[in-house]
Amino acid sequence: MATGEPDQPVAGSHPTNGAAEPVLTRPIGLLAELTHRCPLGCPYCSNPLALDPRDRELDSQTWARVFGEAVALGVLQVHLSGGEPGARRDLVEITAAAHSSGLYTNLITSAVGITASTLVHRANIDRVAAMVELAIGLDASRVEIAHVQYYGWALLNRDALMPNAEQVARAVRAVEELRRLHHGKIVIDAVLPDYYARFPKPCVGGWGRRSLNVTPSGKVLPCHAAEIIPDLEFWRVQDHSLAEIWANSPAFQAFRGTAWMQEPCRSCARREIDHGGCRCQAFMLTGNAAAADPVCHLSPRHADVVALAARQHDVPYSFRTNPRKSDSGAAVR
Ligand code: SF4
Ligand code: SF4
């Protein structure tokens, strides 16, 4: 089945632990990574350590086809991302193709010359109120207080970026007060940073359930960071339709549903709510991508996360070194 109706069993899946059959739902979101090129070098960048070079980026015609296939698959919204999507000279053409295919488009930019954005870490977490004031000043109707996610390059800077427990508690109180103060004026989205949460985030809405991610060179990932998990086989838009990839790609099948789960997730009442948390985080912190995300207080490895959250070192940031320009394929660092 190529495009598939929601909640249909996935062909070829064989649960072995008595868990419910994995179901094939429709994706609603597509993260389109147009390029890994970027003028900035943020220490909290979650892009992979090895970036796709410019000459392997998908061209605009291929993106237009992918957008059409995404709509046929049920996708409603595309996030045009990077790197810095503004580094693509054909960004207008790509955006127009996404729009005319019927997708709601959302440009995720480094903000250079376009707009402002905020990301919270130890050095700025005490300025949440100023961030909200800035958003109100810009006439924003919504602001997200997003914490650094320790993936990709950001993992290298974890100790330098990690807020301490007192800062996190202060920020929670500040957000509550700001919501009360600005009720009706602006919506403030904020969640606890991963390492301080009691339960993990339902990462990407569940693996292979709600979203997919196309890299600059055309690999389709169930999650932005999925390439760190060894032995996953990713299919490419150059070789398969998006519908084929969604339904049958080995990487998407790997953690779809609940059959792959181990204890404590396997018998947990929340297994259909948070889907065991983030597979990439489970792998990064335990070495086992099928383990419970150790952010969860029920994980046998949760003490490791508590110890990491308590580790702050005021060392200089390691700034991202991005390829500047590469028509040859060799990343210039
Ligand atoms: S370097 Fe900064 S702006 Fe550029 S992709 Fe990474 S996080 Fe985004
Ligand atoms: S044990 Fe697993 S399913 Fe249950 S809350 Fe923790 S991560 Fe989620």
- pLDDT value at residue 116: 47
- pLDDT value at residue 111: 54
The pLDDT-based confidence of 179 (bands split at 50, 70, 90) is: very high
Which residues on neighbouring strands pair with residue 220, listed in sequence order? 214
SS3 228: helix
Residue ID of nearest Cα to ligand 2 atom 8: 276
- pLDDT value at residue 142: 84
- pLDDT value at residue 324: 56
Nearest ligand to the C-alpha atom of residue 294: 2
Give residue ranges with CB within 6 A of ligand 1: 38, 40-42, 45, 47, 82-84, 110, 320
In order, the DSSP letters of 120-177 are: B-TTTGGGHHHHHHHHHHTT-SEEEEPBPP--HHHHHTHHHHPPPHHHHHHHHHHHHH
Q: Of 313, 265, 309, 269, which is closest to residue 288 (Cα–Cα)?
A: 265
Nearest ligand to the C-alpha atom of residue 269: 2
Please provide the average confidence, as pLDDT, over all residues in the chain: 88
Ligand 1 centroid to Cα of residue 5, in Å, is 36
Q: Of 142, 43, 110, 55, which is closest to residue 332 (Cα–Cα)?
A: 55
Ligand 1 centroid to Cα of residue 111, in Å, is 10
Alpha helices in the chain (DSSP H): 60-73, 91-100, 128-137, 152-156, 158-161, 165-181, 242-248, 250-254, 279-286, 302-309
Nearest ligand to the C-alpha atom of residue 323: 1
Do residues 253 and 12 touch, judged by C-beta distance below 8 A? yes
Q: Of 81, 41, 110, which is closest to residue 333 (Cα–Cα)?
A: 41
Do residues 63 and 32 touch, judged by C-beta distance below 8 A? yes
d(CA 261, CA 264): 8
Mean pLDDT across the stretch 16-31? 78
Q: Of 216, 214, 240, which is closest to residue 58 (Cα–Cα)?
A: 216
Mean pLDDT across the stretch 76-88? 93
Cβ neighbours, 10 Å, residue 50: 10
- pLDDT value at residue 215: 98
Residue ID of nearest Cα to ligand 1 atom 5: 83
| CA of 199, closest atom in ligand 2 | 5
pTM reported for the whole predicted model: 0.83
pLDDT of 144 higher than 90: no
Q: Of 251, 282, 278, 276, which is closest to residue 263 (Cα–Cα)?
A: 276
Give pLDDT tens digits for 103-124: 999 988 765 444 446 789 999 9
Ligand 2 centroid to Cα of residue 296, in Å, is 6
Q: Look at the block and give the residue holding tokens 């008595």.
A: 18
pLDDT of 331 higher than 60: no
- pLDDT value at residue 329: 37
Which residues on neighbouring strands pair with residue 142, listed in sequence order? 187
CB neighbour list of residue 50: distance below 8 Å, 6 or more residues apart: none
Give pLDDT tens digits for 221-279: 999 999 999 999 999 999 999 999 999 999 999 999 999 999 999 999 999 999 999 99
pLDDT of 12 higher than 90: no
Which residue did the predictor score with more confidence, 38 or 109?
A: 38
Do residues 143 and 172 touch, judged by C-beta distance below 8 A? no
Best mutation site among 255, 298, 299, 301 for ligand 2 pocket (most ligand atoms within 8 Å of CB): 298
- pLDDT value at residue 287: 97
